[in-house]
Amino acid sequence: GLVVRRDDLRQATREGREGNLVLFVVDASGSMAARQRMGAVKGAVLSLLMDAYQRRDKVGLVTFRGRDAELALPPTSSVDAAAARLESLPTGGRTPVAAGLLKAHDVLRVERLRDPSRRPLLVVVTDGRATGGPDPVALAARAARLHAAEGIASVVVDCETGPVRLGLAANLAADLGGTAVTLDELRAESIAGLVKDVRGTGPGHTDRRVA
């Protein structure tokens, strides 16, 4: 009779491209040049979305200002939806960095439940000067370490300007277990390119620094 062995069995396996979730967390306070910052981030988000359908990526945007943070753009791969949400974003007020990072943590947690295979990358755009409430810098560091504990790949775009540099954004990047770059040397296209480069490295990437 016919004998079928285990080695004779074959199974067709579909291999799909792993998608990414790039979540921007942007300082929309009055602590620095908001127009320059927002312009660069808007360009980067829209640039990433242009090829999202090919890469199966999603992009989202959290902004923080005043006393709180909000999800300005829920994770999406729709360029039209992103353009509509990004057209006008309010700026000004204090700088609740911790609130922005905690909101991002909630967003990533929900998205992880929806699609566990999607790789997250956090892109924080700030000068790191947390203000408002008791010990805001310590609160921001604590919130950053929540992301680091979960191995979230991260980039901090340092927007600090002026003759006196405190280096707070670099400290925030260290707390996140990520890397830091400066906004002064980057255009919107460069930020998008940086995200495309770093997002594929996965959790635990801590030693890559771009000047």
pLDDT one-digit tens code per residue, 176-208: 999 888 766 666 666 677 677 776 554 444 444
In a domain, 58, yes or no: yes
Predicted TM-score (pTM) of this structure: 0.79
Task: List the chain residues with pLDDT less than 70.
Answer: 1-4, 6-18, 31-36, 53, 161-165, 183-191, 194, 199-211
In a domain, 208, yes or no: no
For residue 166, the enclosing domain spans: 18-201
Which pairs from 111-119 meet CB under 8 Å and 24+ separation?
111/21, 111/58, 111/60, 111/75, 115/19, 117/18, 117/19, 118/18, 118/19, 118/20, 118/21, 118/58, 119/18, 119/19, 119/20, 119/21, 119/153, 119/199, 119/200, 119/202
CATH number at residue 137: 3.40.50.410
1 domain-assigned: no
Residue 10 in any domain: the answer is no
Query: What is the number of domains present in the chain?
Result: 1
